[in-house]
Each structure stands twice: as C-alpha cells, then as structure tokens.
Amino acid sequence: MRSETGTRRFDKRTMQQVRADATRALARAMYCPQRSMVEQFRCVDFQPETETSFGRQLWYFDALAVDESQQEMHVYGVIEYSVQYDLYELAEDGVFLDADQRDRFETVYRRQPLRPSWRHPGHRWLLVAMLLVSIGWLTVLLLQKWMP
C-alpha cells in the first residue's frame, strides 16, 4: 500500500495507526483479525487542525474478511479521526457489507451539527420549567423567612 492519498502524503506512523484501527474495526464486527486482510485504504476527507478548531479525517478501507463460519467476503470500512494537538483520536469506525452503506455513513459525517435554537419546543419547555422551579424555591424561602 502506498502512503499517498490523492495529493497528500501521510507518514509511516499515521498509516500504521490507520491499519491497526482497520484491523480492530474488523474484529469488533466479528471477523477474524488474523485471517482477514485489509486490501487498501484511503483518506477521503482531510480537514487540518487550525488554531481555532481540531482537525478531522475520514478514511475508507476495503478488506477481504473471514467470518465465524470461515467464509470470505469483501467488506467496506470507515474510520473517523479527530486530530487534536497532532494526535489521532479514533472518533468512530464501522464495517459494512456494501459500499453504498458506507457512502451513507459519509453523508451523516458531512452533515453539519445542529445549532441549538430557542425556537425548538424542547428548549422553550426547559426554560419554562426552570423558571417555575426557581419561583417555587424563592416562594419556599420567603415563606420560611416570614413564617416563624
């Protein structure tokens, strides 16, 4: 396997980490890690770390996996890393039987996180509940002060 993904070159340590995490993902998916073989892997999303945000990487891997009944099958995996202070933190991984399933994972990965809004009914109910509890506690405290 090459340590080049597109126009990016990754160091040997990074490639060893990706290979080890791909093998662990196969083991978690109940495939034999000793008999299964990762055929190729590639970085499909690279967001470098900046001064204001952590980096992210999304890796795909294809493997020939051996299951419990000793059947060989092609599986498609994904590994997501959060890059924090130049350290790779495994965020999520998965092994899929179909490449289309893996592509659906990428659509979830690329979706921006929802930002909280006071327009959401749950947030308004939380605010109302907090106000009612606060008023209740203040009432209890005031009644204890004035009642001997």
Dump pLDDT digits (tens) for 33-72: 888 888 898 888 888 888 888 888 899 999 989 888 888 8
Q: In this structure, are 71 and 138 located in the same domain? A: no
Tokens of residue 51, six digits? 């001064």
Residue 4 predicted with pLDDT over 50 = no
Contact 1, 41 (CB under 8 A): yes
Same domain as 147, residue 109 = no
- Asked if residue 125 and residue 109 are part of one domain, the reply reads no
Is residue 86 located within the same domain as residue 134?
no
CA gap 66, 27 in Å, rounded: 10
Q: Give the count of domains, the chain.
A: 2
Domain that holds residue 11: 4-113
Sheet holding 55-66, edge to edge: 37-47, 55-66, 72-84, 87-96
Prediction pTM value: 0.65
Distance between CA 30 and CA 138 in Å, rounded? 56
